[in-house]
Amino acid sequence: MLRGVDPTSGALRESLVAGIGLRRDGRETVERRLLDSFDWRVWDAGAVLEHDMTPTAAWLTWRRRATSAEPARVLGRQASPTTPSTAADLAGGPVTRLLAPVLGLRALLPRAEMRVERELFSLRDGEDKSVARAAIEHITVTGPGDMDDRDLGWRVVVTGVRGYDDVLADLVDRLEGAPGLVAGRDDADRSLFESAGAQPADYSSKLRVAIEPEAPTLQALSTICSTLLDTIEVNERGVRDDIDTEFLHDFRVAIRRTRSMLSQAGEVIPETERRFYGDAFRWLAGETSELRDLDVYLLGFDDLTAQLPAEHRADVEPLRDLLEDLRRDAYTRLMVALDSQRYRELMASWRAFLDAPDGAGAASTPVGRTAGERIWKAYRSIVRHGRHIDDDSPAEAVHDLRKRAKKLRYLLEAYRSLYPRGDMRSLTAELVTLQDNLGTYQDCDVQISSLRRFAELLGQRPGATGPAVLAMGVLSSQLAQRQQQARAEFQERFARFDRRKNRQRFRRLFEPIAEPVT
């Protein structure tokens, strides 16, 4: 609980000690870092993660932020000699247990750094035990990175001791009468981040674009693509610095969505521009594939090889070494692409185009109509092709359906704001279940071919790679089995997607109403 403070803290100290009966407990200076992922996962979980260091100790605190209903509460604390960057850096403990599921694959970044000079007080009971604590704090924000120190002034922070909630409430009441104190704002945490130049929850990997149904299609397209371009640009730094694998993932997804928008644009964007940017983004997507594929293999390496019989598991380590070497090369090649003139020009010219787009054809048609048409068309194509797939159909047919499903998904997400939220959520969820099945099938296929390629590369390396290749053969056949299973489940999954309830919903939302003939 926070209270703003008048800088003449001498009078304040007097009133705390003599007036309220707090005991002085000394001073300390804490170097504090507020940690969160690039996409603010800790903040979204309603908490703040602090890494504190004094000359004698260092610890992590997971503090649930105050809401209008409840004061802030420390949910976990554990020793931590260094600032962690990933969940793997942490030893077991209550903070790790809170953080790991929230953080997933993302790295922690210092979103704010500060020096906190604290003058400590405690309220004692009849046994001379502390039953509440207070501190006069002076905060100076010092980072992250190079920034001028910002003096945030003084505040009094009151913390309860577990099991003495009434005491805390009473102390807060009494403090409200102390000279120069004003109640702190609920968004005090947000201001701490803002003082360090960070804006909580300013980034999400989800596509969130609000468009109006009456807006001209071209304008809507340009709004969507501008948001996607923002996402590409904002993730570029993380890709270059190789902070975690999700920067590249989000970078690629934004590129993929952009390509999807371009290919769906039809006549709305003139053909020359459509071709040009389509090619350019295809090039860019291609430059990122290899690195992403290798990231995925390395992330999934332990899971994949956990399936192997024990005697093969150790044999397969040379494959990991190969993957790491390949990854390093792929990263270097991507950096060359990102440093290239072609990339810089693409980013600049696409931005310029979106700011003042050239229209053609149906550019001015209200997007409410064109979106519905596009979505309906994409949906129908899935239904038509999916119904024709049976157990004997070739693998190509399944891959093809997967691409169609992805098109529909991107459309649903891009135009989500035009339709009722509940419906869109359900339909997207239904589509995702189908996509999962199609995705598994495709992934196994790709992994099997990759393993073949890796085996060849391994064979060219010095050392005893025979056992590794043998183990990879076992992996291959396990993958083939998984692929078979996904294929066997397809009929059922598709039937579920194609069930009446979904058909009706798609129809209700997107089926074009025939224009009356006059």
CA distances from 458 to 118, 292, 293, 450, 480 (A): 59, 20, 18, 12, 21
Under rule CB under 8 A, residue 64 binds another protein: no
Q: Cα angle vertex 476, ends 329, 291, to 5°?
A: 20
Shorter beta-carbon distance to another protein: residue 163 or 422: 163
Shorter beta-carbon distance to another protein: residue 130 or 195: 130
Q: Is 27 helix (H, G, I), strand (E, B) or coil?
A: strand
Q: Quote the least distance from Cβ 476 to another protein, whole Å.
A: 35
- Binds another protein (CB under 8 A): choice among 16, 50, 71, 76: 76
> For the chain, how far is it from start to end, CA to CA, in angstroms?
69
- Tell me the one-letter amino acid at 431: L
Q: Quote the least distance from Cβ 161 to another protein, whole Å.
A: 4
- Binds another protein (CB under 8 A): choice among 11, 17, 57, 348: 57
- Residue 291 to residue 248: CA distance in whole angstroms: 9
Under rule CB under 8 A, residue 183 binds another protein: no
Under rule CB under 8 A, residue 184 binds another protein: no
Q: Quote the least distance from Cβ 28 to another protein, whole Å.
A: 12
Do 50 and 34 meet the contact criterion of CB atoms below 8 Å apart?
yes
- Residue 439 to residue 403: CA distance in whole angstroms: 10
Q: Quote the least distance from Cβ 125 to another protein, whole Å.
A: 8
Torsion-angle region of residue 229: left (phi > 0), alpha (psi -120 to 50) or beta?
alpha
Q: Is 60 helix (H, G, I), strand (E, B) or coil?
A: strand
Q: Give me the count of residues in the chain.
A: 518
- Residue 311 to residue 320: CA distance in whole angstroms: 16
Q: Quote the least distance from Cβ 191 to another protein, whole Å.
A: 26
Q: Quote the least distance from Cβ 56 to another protein, whole Å.
A: 10
Residues linked to residue 31 through DSSP beta bridges, in sequence order: 53, 115
Under rule CB under 8 A, residue 80 binds another protein: yes
Residue spans of alpha helices (H) in 2-119:
9-14, 41-44, 94-103
- Binds another protein (CB under 8 A): choice among 10, 18, 162, 392: 162
Residues 99-138 touching another protein, rule: CB under 8 A, are: 127-130
**Exposure of 391 by Cβ count < 10 A (0-12 exposed, 13-18 middle, 19+ buried)?**
exposed
- Binds another protein (CB under 8 A): choice among 92, 145, 462, 516: 92
Q: Quote the least distance from Cβ 133 to another protein, whole Å.
A: 10
Residues 440-479 touching another protein, rule: CB under 8 A, are: none
Shorter beta-carbon distance to another protein: residue 98 or 232: 98
Q: Is 156 helix (H, G, I), strand (E, B) or coil?
A: strand
Under rule CB under 8 A, residue 206 binds another protein: no
Under rule CB under 8 A, residue 59 binds another protein: yes
| Sole window of 70-78, 181-189, 208-216, 495-503 interacting with another protein (rule: CB under 8 A) | 70-78
Do 256 and 410 meet the contact criterion of CB atoms below 8 Å apart?
yes
Under rule CB under 8 A, residue 386 binds another protein: no
- Binds another protein (CB under 8 A): choice among 164, 276, 301, 331: 164
Do 99 and 90 meet the contact criterion of CB atoms below 8 Å apart?
yes
Under rule CB under 8 A, residue 216 binds another protein: no
- Binds another protein (CB under 8 A): choice among 161, 304, 389, 457: 161
- Residue 386 to residue 463: CA distance in whole angstroms: 48
- Binds another protein (CB under 8 A): choice among 4, 94, 361, 439: 94
Residues of this chain that bind another protein (CB under 8 A) = 57, 59, 76-80, 92-94, 97, 127-130, 161-164
